[in-house]
Amino acid sequence: MSDQLQLSAAQFDLVYNAFSFVIASMGASLLFFLLIRERVHPKHRMAVTISTLVVGIALYHYLRIFTSWEEAFTFTDGVYVQDGVPFNEAYRYVDWFLTVPLLLAELVVVLKLAPSVTRTLLVRLTIAAVLMIGLGWPGELAAADSVERTVWGAASTVPFLYILWVLFVQLKRSLDRQSAGMRRLVDALRWVLLLSWGVYPLAYIAPMVMADPVAAEVARQVGYSVADVIAKPVFGMLILGIALLKSKDEPARESDDLHEELEAFGEPTPPAGTPANA
């Protein structure tokens, strides 16, 4: 959006290092989810598989974002001038188009609700996620002080609020039937989701409310990056915790390795040979 910006070395590096931090986080969590998947009971593996896809997709996009950021600036007379190839903001939105429906699916799938409830939730949440991102995109391209940015941003907020309503109000009813340990994890999961997802609209409005366009651009990029790490790898870790907790209740485990992971999540482990659902 904003060309010919001039960033100090510190401002340029802050964004550069934020992207680098995201790449390391996505890469490490991709590896971790792949290494640990065998320890999750096959019945609960789907959610972990989806987490793996999410961080893999994000790893690819952040590698492209990182390169695009480097190519957009030249270092002249002690400042970074944005006079290169335009920074490609679309990678971020393409990433969200793929990962946001997947993140919501991850959450719904791990809960193992009745198939008809799962189907309805998946359809509704996917449609809302696509609308939220699709409506936000034209606004992201619009100038900071334009009416368009406000109108598209407001339109995108409607499906955003709908998603939060489904997760916090509708889903609550289904959760009452889950165990206390599960409810604790799912609660943590929803707060992580709310706190990280809440950062995106704030980063979007940064150019509208901050007087200095350079500081606003830095805040927007760093804000989106930090939110992405919480929304994908951290959220994925909690999903993994739920999948491991549910695996504990499944029969016919081939190994006892599961106990280590459960202990890491602060859960008591059943003695060896305990029957399923004991």
Residues near ligand RET, by CB under 6 A = 96, 99-100, 103, 132-133, 136, 139, 153, 156-157, 160, 197, 200-201, 204, 228, 231-232
Rounded least distance, CB 13 to ligand RET, Å: 24
Rounded least distance, CB 49 to ligand RET, Å: 16
Q: Which is nearer to ligand RET, 136 or 207 (CB)?
A: 136
Rounded least distance, CB 182 to ligand RET, Å: 23
Rounded least distance, CB 201 to ligand RET, Å: 4
Backbone angles phi, psi at 8, to 5 degrees: -70, 165
Q: Which is nearer to ligand RET, 153 or 207 (CB)?
A: 153
Q: Say which residues have a Cβ less than 8 Å from residue 42's Cβ, sequence separation at least 6.
A: none
Q: Say which residues have a Cβ less than 8 Å from residue 248's Cβ, sequence separation at least 6.
A: 258, 262, 267, 269, 270
Q: Which is nearer to ligand RET, 44 or 232 (CB)?
A: 232
Q: Which is nearer to ligand RET, 100 or 185 (CB)?
A: 100
Q: Which is nearer to ligand RET, 103 or 245 (CB)?
A: 103
Rounded least distance, CB 60 to ligand RET, Å: 13
CA distances for 198 relative to 11, 172, 181, 212, angstroms? 24, 20, 26, 23
Token pair 């492209």 is at which residue? 64
- Report the alpha-carbon distance of residue 136 to residue 160 in Å, rounded: 10
- Report the alpha-carbon distance of residue 97 to residue 244 in Å, rounded: 28
